[in-house]
Amino acid sequence: MILILLGPPGAGKGTQAKVLAQKLKVPHISTGDLLRQNVKENTSFGVEAKKYMEKGELVPDKLVNDMLKNRMGEPDTKDGFILDGYPRNIAQAEILDKMFGKADGVHVVYLQTSEPVVIQRLSGRRVCSNCGANFHIKNMPPKNDGTCDICGGKLYQRTDDQENTIKKRLDVYLKETSSLVDYYEKQDKLFRISADDEPEIVISMILDLVKSGRR
Ligand code: AMP
């Protein structure tokens, strides 16, 4: 089972993917999280990627593809995985097609939402520096200001969640990523879901889709 979550930054891909990964018992692979981990550890991938991430631009395909291939080679992916933040352009989608295009059980879910919702979600998002859990200052505030409910870690605002970079990321999404909706629609693989519904509703729709084997 391979589940690809498409949608603009702030559509809730990461939040949904974390829950779905538990329910479907497959790993959640977020290229954004993998890149941030590399930045944190100051690896050669991270040093290179940081320059692009800070500006809200896409990291070059070669770097992301190599990093993802390493991750997909780990044993926990044997029954499948959930991809969040990949593919981000047609070239990346073609790479996935080469690897899995003909496989059964590939689902592409497009989380549809509007720009004002996305801006509100991203600008209020806070992330745990220790466990990576997401909070929101209005929609999902932590019990104690600035502290993660789950592990007690310190919450921070991602540098690319600041207003100017959000705008840039949305531009990049429109320019590079939104064409994937068409790409997968033509392959008859796309399933659209409104990401403005409550998270529980979105999750149950995705689970129904995966379990029914529909595409
Ligand atoms: P995300 O956490 O998915 O919002 O990603 C954060 C940043 O990581 C993006 O703005 C890009 O700079 C970079 N990034 C994540 N995934 C990819 C990808 N598939 N291709 C290129 N850059 C990516």
Predicted local confidence at residue 105, as pLDDT: 85
- What pTM was estimated for this model as a whole? 0.92
- Which residue in the block uniquely carries the two structure tokens 């929609």? 139
In total, the chain counts a number of residues equal to 215
Residue 88 lies in a domain: yes
Domain span at residue 94?
Answer: 2-26+79-113+174-212
Amino acid at 90: I
Average pLDDT on 34-47 reads: 94
Predicted local confidence at residue 143, as pLDDT: 98
User: Does the pLDDT at position 85 exceed 90?
Assistant: yes
pLDDT classification of 173: cutoffs 50, 70, 90: very high
Q: In the structure, which protein residues have their CB atom closer than 6 angstroms to any atom of ligand 1?
A: 9, 31-32, 35, 52-53, 56-59, 64, 85-86, 88, 92, 160, 169
Q: How many helices (H) and strands (E) does the chain have?
A: 9, 8
Residue nearest to atom 11 of ligand 1 (CA): 58
Residue 136 lies in a domain: no
Residue nearest to atom 1 of ligand 1 (CA): 32
In percent, the amount of the chain with pLDDT more than 70 equals 99
Q: Which of 158, 189, 192, 215 is catalytic?
A: 158
Residue 203 lies in a domain: yes
Write out the two tokens for 190.
């796309």
User: Does the pLDDT at position 81 exceed 80?
Assistant: yes
pLDDT classification of 215: cutoffs 50, 70, 90: low
Active site residue 13: yes
Q: What is the mean pLDDT of the chain?
A: 94
81-84 and 2-6 beta bridge pairing: parallel
Residue 119 lies in a domain: no
pLDDT digits over 111-152, tens only? 999 999 999 999 999 999 999 899 999 999 999 999 999 999
Residue 12 lies in a domain: yes
Residue 188 lies in a domain: yes
Residues 6+ apart with CB under 8 A from 215: 106, 107, 108, 188, 189, 191
Least confident of 56-60, 67-71, 104-108: 104-108
Q: Which of 36, 121, 125, 126 is catalytic?
A: 125
CATH code, domain with 186: 3.40.50.300
Closest CA to 87 of 5, 154, 148, 17: 5
User: Does the pLDDT at position 38 exceed 90?
Assistant: yes
In percent, the amount of the chain with pLDDT more than 90 equals 87
Predicted local confidence at residue 214, as pLDDT: 58
Distance between CA atoms of residues 142 and 24, nearest Å: 27
Active site residue 214: no
Residue 21 lies in a domain: yes
Residue 34 lies in a domain: no
Predicted local confidence at residue 204, as pLDDT: 95
Q: Which of 13, 36, 121, 126 is catalytic?
A: 13
Number of domains in the chain: 1
Average pLDDT on 25-45 reads: 95
pLDDT digits over 181-204, tens only? 999 999 999 999 999 888 899 999
